[in-house]
Structure 1
């Protein structure tokens, strides 16, 4: 309370009014996030994520079957729009005889055809409750007046005690995603899912969220789906009768260019094996399944949305007044934001309809509340900022500088054990070159070379450790580790070699030939942190990972290779670039290392041949080396491959080749 009183004492009338105005704005944004531009898009995306994560997984729905016209059907009948009605009449006869629970037809009959009499005759004999798609031109502007007139006439002729109209109109949100049921309009026929089952009072409003199901296994769909021509073929239809007996049958189109909808579970396209869109018939199937299962999510009362908006804005304002250390403040703020994001997921998981529940809007409302109060009450700690800014000159990597600005305590002298990807480079023959050219040219070439390599390392997210003469030392995995560190480090290793080759091609005239850039990469333990004392510190890594990477870089010379990775590093790259280069014992080491060289321009079968030779050699099959000899003739300039052949000839049973 004292902090709050001091805040109001310091505010003048204008600032006090603006603070209150922003607090009101925070409440309104938090309450009406679902109808506010831009914020609305974020809310929809978060809802789609919730709906996908907690979509019920099913083995297969045994109550519903889809019978569809597809592209093969159109080729078979030679008729695209309107679809062939003879095949529908034949299929209806077969389906009706199998004894389904009901039939829903998601096809509009808006144009006369020569086989209309055959189809009308089939409708007259239907014993199964059958519902035909109906569309009101006021809701479907794409239907012309003449088409609607024919539709009305067709219904009059097709209508029987068992054949009735149904509304099949699907209304998407403004972003084109089908998230909710279509509200029932007075005077319109019952919606298809409701028409096919007994009336359910819970679904009377017909305006809640659709509960989409997802398959529990990739090879088993949620609903059985059969081509309609199968039911027009008596021999095939007889075998399929058991699949539709006692079930709800939905008949419609499954085409790649029409009647397809985005859905909240569209992000699970890999599981369903499609493009992420769902045909309208399947949307109806999901609603029908929801109705059959009596699965109506609990709606959120509007008054709770107002209460939530008020709480969010107030929490944001009070959070701006928190006084304490950075850890305490950080935990409070992170905890609140985590609640805004997680709470809707929890409600979705327990069956609450979160289609109108804010999540992103709560976060924005909280921020507005925080900003409105915090702008008059808080400042950044000047001592910490000055401390961090003075330390920036002691760090080369921008990533480290950014971390220091966020948390000055990271400048303290300490180290931590981390798993890192260490990469070493060295320019072959550069030391000898320095004795052959002027010092000024040495400096120019070295700066150019290191600039090129540094740019590559930073482009791929590496932390530059140091320069040792012409050598560049970098690592991935600290100060921040990312899941794709291995891939980025491997791509950087190859790009560093290519940058060295580009440098060689662009040296000034008169400069002797410059050697290749050799690269070594290893994954392992290292102690990472700030070392060097209070007077001059450096963020660096020490330990086995760095030493092994350095030795791998040096091993390139003995193995006639360009880039060497240890198995530990290679297996964590996620790339298939590599060919094995045998087992070696590095200088100063007793434990052998399996090494690999990236050859991204090779085909998979070429890399597999080398792998097979290495595997055969390990079990004592010396004849396999002949295959490698043939490859060396094909790749005459591949010195590394020829070197591998010589080493394998000198060893047996996969033993390690010791480097002198």
Structure 2
């Protein structure tokens, strides 16, 4: 991937991340984030309370029916019925009791309030419910008897300076004074669910007339004497050594233990009946030990009493059990800790560029889809891991940023793919076969523009004596002849998967193994050369008729490392090769003259063909620009086969020459000379050295390029 593309994708992804962050900051993702939180809670909420110190007594439908049948009493019950609940908790040794039931109106029955007040004074310490807010209640200021029971908190004035308006109360609906004075504390049961009406957080307190009003769970903890000193700092509520993460509305994120029934739960009817049995000396239906040392919350679960809430785990979650969850979180100190806003923003911002880079890395549609399949669930996985560790990490924002980044990558790839394909077709249509162009367009990543070092097989060809032939032709005749010849040869080269480098007059330069990988590039080059020679032989009579003489083509092929790529100016360039291996291929084409041959390949090319062709070794040559001699070969046929007698005799003559038997070699070559131009060339060369009285090691010194 180019650096420019990296920057483009990163910039597009950053824009997607910024957009997602902005939506999160404006609250547009709050509902989606809440729903993702609900899924996490459903998957990972641990069954059972963490502290084991909380129990719930519920006024369920069975309790309403039993009291109605037993005492002919309907709801609301007389206070003396609740007195039985308090008495049973006292008998059981409960740590504290909290009523999630409002006693805001005096009882119509004589002595009824006094009976419950007497029970409250006898213990255990009890917190009663009040509604402290901005709209409900006749009290504009808290009466002295309730203020005296509310705790002091260090840092309250500093914290309240940055508190949200929702935490500031203006009115209160309090228990009747007789009961309130008998209770240890009054706790607030007003709550503010999330915008979608799902209770994911619990308020720890509200502020009324400059005083901290604890929530009912916090009031229960205070009544039990385990809260410790209260302190407030930005984002934190300290309860002795316990620390609770709160927002500017004094809300903490609930760590749900499960749906309804997650805590020790007793029906109010069973508790009342058990207390009556104990007073009569009968064995109770409920063992008081179940509540020993526990915090007990008393509230409703009967649908008709309208205290069913929506929680992440249930569509009808009794409010008292949600209060129990908050109390259990306070006792165990394991409220969920929301990640700070800067971390939410960072994770959302980072996901955009990450997704865009991953989606645009390959540039192909399936790679973008694969990146999407891998990256889109990543925020959810991180969110689940955070939940397991007790932290709320963002999911909706990073997921949206990831989708935006992937979409940006897809659009970028789509927009650049067409331009890239047009470039490939325009740049390569003149020197690549249509099949190779189609492969490049299907996978442009296989093309690396610019200089690249690769192992190639390079093909150089030239027509023998074409300069003199061209001098006798009219321009139109010459052009037509060249076009016919070059077209026929080029078709074969392209058919073998070759890349046409250029034409230089009648010369053809081509190569294999670029821009696409071709492991058999040497064999392709040799096969193309043999096919070109066969095609020229077929066309030779027609060309003889047109120019008056036969046309012969010399070909040189070498394999080795070169630099290949688009080279030239920004507007005009050639896809060409540079390097010593290419120069040697050119030298081999010219070296054919010395041997009277028409196809010569280097030892490296011959070795790479792995015996795929019939041929022979021509000998050793030393060309301009190379100090060491090069062993060269002549492919003769498409398929390897038995060596004929002429080729066997040529090999024997060459072996005699290398063994120092110059006269014997000369004699052997001379015997082959009439029918074999390379043997005739060797015979003449041997005679020249014999006539001069010199030895010859068989290395041809070629001074021409």
Under a length normalisation based on structure 1, what TM-score does the superposition of the two structures give? 0.48
Under a length normalisation based on structure 2, what TM-score does the superposition of the two structures give? 0.45
In terms of fraction of residues, the more strand-rich structure is 2
